[in-house]
Chain A
């Protein structure tokens, strides 16, 4: 018995995970692709009807909510990523020195990341509340007019991007810190011999060496930001109007509020391919930065 297991260990060890992957990942994805060719609403007694590419045609050419949601998804991701990458790297450089309380600061910095997104969203809802929220009190004390934040169609998505930034800048910082500590000191010594000042040090030595690490962090964040659901749904459910409706939210609304299962599947297939495409582009870019080193 023991010998038999050992001989087939590879298979036995992988088997449960493979089954799980097949049942819970491969099959659902396949089924979603399959369903995307059907017109099927759960809330009607009609059986699914094969409509071929009709769902996709309707989505791409006839749906007034799809393209706005598409662009919003990228707008949100870009906003959030630019904020948190710049901030995250800057803070990492600030933190990258020896000071008392170093560990404590790092620990506190960890908290936004592990906090439950829905709860985070609700806390920020209170902060953004136009009449009683802290955000406007703060602006007021600076002599700036109160803003509507998530209650305004223009500001809602940037406001949520701000919350995303609050929550995930620490991740970029921590990854960058780890990257910084792995840069060998000889590089700086060599630069010092050449008479580089600290500004040159950063752009000539630190930054290029850090770039692959930053890319990895950005990749992880893009994958998550593009799929951001919890914050948006908890804070605005896609509103005001549809001004924060990203593809993920649009898919959810179609699937679980309108129960249009075929149509939703088509949205999800497109969304899935977009996410996969973006991720591979960033991975390729990352490889390139490594080669140039």
Chain B
């Protein structure tokens, strides 16, 4: 009898534990009938700033919001997999319109929310045009902007004053100043920007436009036009000649870190990362940071001005109205003002025009942002479906340029690949 017991016990144990395991994996039932929204969010200052405000919303509406936070790449992966599997449990999510927007919209994963825009209290018309445009396709509105970004030039006021130098207004001046201030022997560099291939593409874009280039025009890849090659060459020369060692491994945390340690005179990147440079806990040059408009290229002044994050509703969600309630609240004038007060640059013109909404921003920066809002271009990367592939392809030219290799050859090779990608997507 006993022997039988041991083996059946073993079997029982297996069944028991596997039962437990499977029981662990599901269980987001909400018994009490109230709506709980499942919100897939990014790990982003916006998320951090809105979480403390959430109780207000929950009290006002009785709708509960459950945050799930992911890092950028994992967020894309999470959303893609869940949507492919036809998930209905996600109600709303954060997305990068320029990165995923086209794909998500084509696949029908995002709900058209244009019918909600006539709410007078919400004042949809107050969102800046460029910020909304990246969330539109034909007549479909598939998201609401929450964070906007422009590329600007950060510089060290103290060093410029010491050397009696004017702030560069053109890329030519940019290079001259970088050359002048570059002092590698003392571990100080004239210029820093992203050099890590795919990550650099967005910050390179403003240079590309300034030189008169673009990623593609009418379905034709334009990475090897003379203008584009000149831009690649310029960006590479700047970082090779006047940039810090190891720039090829720098995305913004590294580049911003270097600038924050006082090791570079100038830095071009998105305006939204300015708190990293001014926060005394993260930066030793906090009070010495100057902000200015991205310098003009031979073809004019065209920094990007993009919506880096938006909120969207899952087209299969069963709680679309409630999700929209949340979005309207989160993008209302009051909340955007509060978020902007925490250093998150928002999409509403009225908030930018309002003293209270710009209080915490350095006033110089507000000017720069307002100017850039007017002239900026609405994308900082090619608007294709396979954005990641495209960025990797374009990144190869940037890397080649920084290394001082044959830029034209690299651009030609990249252009061919990029054209294939474009043809593929037709």
Chain A positions near chain B (C-beta within 8 angstroms): 1-2, 5, 16, 42-45, 64, 130-131, 146, 148-153, 236, 239-242, 253, 256-259
Contacts and interface: CB of A to CB of B under 8 A. Distances in A.
Given A5-B7, A153-B399, A240 B413 contact: no
A45 B86 CA distance: 12
B4 A131 contact: no
A241 B398 CA distance: 9
B161 to A, nearest CB: 26
Contacts of B108: 45
Q: For A153, A242, A259, which residue has the most chain B Cβ atoms within 10 angstroms?
A: A259
B248 A239 contact: yes
A2 B1 CA distance: 8
A1 B399 contact: no
Given A2-B7, A239-B196, A151 B249 contact: yes
Nearest to A41: B386
A131 to B, nearest CB: 7
Tell me if B's interface is mostly helix, strand, loop or mixed.
helix
B389 A151 contact: no
A1 B4 contact: yes
Contacts of A64: 413, 417
Contact of B389 (A1, A42, A44, A258): A258
A1 B108 CA distance: 57
Contacts of A240: 195-197, 248-249, 399
How many residues of B sit at the interface, in one of the four size bands? 35 or more
B371 interface: no
A5 B248 CA distance: 64
A148 B245 contact: yes
Q: For B3, B246, B413, which residue has the most chain A Cβ atoms within 10 angstroms?
A: B246
A151 B243 CA distance: 13
B187 A256 contact: no
B121 to A, nearest CB: 37
Interface in B60-80: 73, 77, 80
A130 B187 CA distance: 11
A236 B249 contact: yes
A16 B14 CA distance: 10
A42 B4 contact: no
Interface string B173-201: 00000000000000100000001110000
B418 to A, nearest CB: 12
B316 to A, nearest CB: 14
Q: For B196, B400, B413, which residue has the most chain A Cβ atoms within 10 angstroms?
A: B196
A257 B386 CA distance: 10
A236 B197 CA distance: 12
Contact of B107 (A5, A44, A149, A258): A44
A233 B43 CA distance: 20
A15 to B, nearest CB: 11
Contact of B103 (A2, A43, A131, A146): A43
Contacts of A148: 245-246
B249 A42 contact: no
A256 B78 CA distance: 10
B340 interface: no
B4 A2 contact: yes
Contacts of B244: 130-131
Q: For B73, B187, B386, which residue has the most chain A Cβ atoms within 10 angstroms?
A: B386
Contacts of B389: 258
A256 B399 contact: no
B106 interface: yes
B388 A258 contact: yes
Contact of A241 (B77, B197, B258, B386): B197
B396 A2 contact: no
Contacts of B84: 42
B283 interface: no
Contacts of B212: none
Contacts of A253: 392
Q: For A150, A152, A241, which residue has the most chain B Cβ atoms within 10 angstroms?
A: A241
Given A43-B107, A257-B73, A150 B249 contact: yes
Contacts of A43: 80, 103, 107, 385-386
A45 B108 CA distance: 9
B361 to A, nearest CB: 30
Interface in B240-287: 244-249, 258, 263
A7 to B, nearest CB: 13
